[in-house]
Amino acid sequence: MTAPIPRDIPDLPAIPGVPAFLPSPVPATAVVTPVRHPLTAVFRVLVALAAVATVTLEVLLSSPVRALSYFSVQSAVLLAAVFLLSARRAWKARRPLPSALTGATLLYSTITALVYHLLLTNPSSPFPLTGAAAAPTGWHAVTAHLLHTAIPAAAAVDWLLLTAPGRLHLRQAASWLLYPLAYLLFSFTRGELIPPATPGRYLYPFLDVDLHGYKSVLGNALLLGLAIYALAILLVALDHARPNPIRHRAKTGFRLQPPVG
């Protein structure tokens, strides 16, 4: 005969001197073997060197201050720095750069290409380039092609074929607009410091206050800012929808044993 089990069992007192176990999640890098990507590193170094050479040539062909004032040149400098850092991490099997930085670099490079081809060199655009800038020749044509076509295309190839998807986030899109906004303020400040009627006072026709006035330029900037934000959202959506081009079987420190018997 067994005794009945009591309904209420008192809680056992804590044992003094025994510390509670704290949660200690194991990072993935502790069990997953880091994988080097030498071809990715080489590609990014070549793109970075091309960007550096293009910016250097652009500075030598014109005034350094004027050349470095272009959005396309500044975005190329950023791309060169980011690609060099990314190449080093890919070569040494380290974690990639933060997606907020790489996504911003991709966005600015894409803006450079789209604005140039859709607004500045498009005959039907309301803001086409004029004079020698509309039809560059010689080395100017080379740098224009590299800055506005080849380098942005290489950035897109790196994103589509050499970068894991799903790293960009919608919350980052608003922060990516800070640099275009800062460039707008820079353009206004630069224009005020340069005497009126000076050629090249405003580097882009849609930001030319002398030609359109502040009211129209601010309207152009607002429309362009909305377009940039929509482009950023599109890049985030595509980043989550595209397939993984670098999927591989990760090697871990665990090995499953076959069942016995």
| CA-wise closest residue to 87 among 160, 162, 146 | 162
pTM summary value: 0.83
Please report the pLDDT score of residue 248 as a whole number: 55
Please report the pLDDT score of residue 17 as a whole number: 60
Q: Is 57 exposed, middle or buried (0-12, 13-18, 19+ CB in 10 A)?
A: middle
Tens-binned pLDDT, residue by residue, of the chain (261 aa) = 566 656 655 655 655 665 555 555 555 544 556 788 899 999 999 999 999 999 999 999 988 999 999 999 999 999 999 999 999 999 999 999 999 999 999 999 999 999 999 999 998 999 999 887 888 899 999 999 999 999 999 999 999 999 999 999 999 999 999 999 999 999 999 999 999 888 889 999 999 999 999 999 999 999 999 999 999 999 999 999 999 987 654 444 444 444 444
Question: What is the Cα–Cα distance from 75 to 78, expressed in whole angstroms?
Answer: 5
Locate 189 and state its tokens: 């400040």
Question: What is the Cα–Cα distance from 209 to 188, expressed in whole angstroms?
Answer: 8
Please report the pLDDT score of residue 246 as a whole number: 75
Question: What is the Cα–Cα distance from 227 to 201, expressed in whole angstroms?
Answer: 25
Please report the pLDDT score of residue 22 as a whole number: 57
The answer to whether the CB of 107 falls within 8 A of the CB of 71 is no
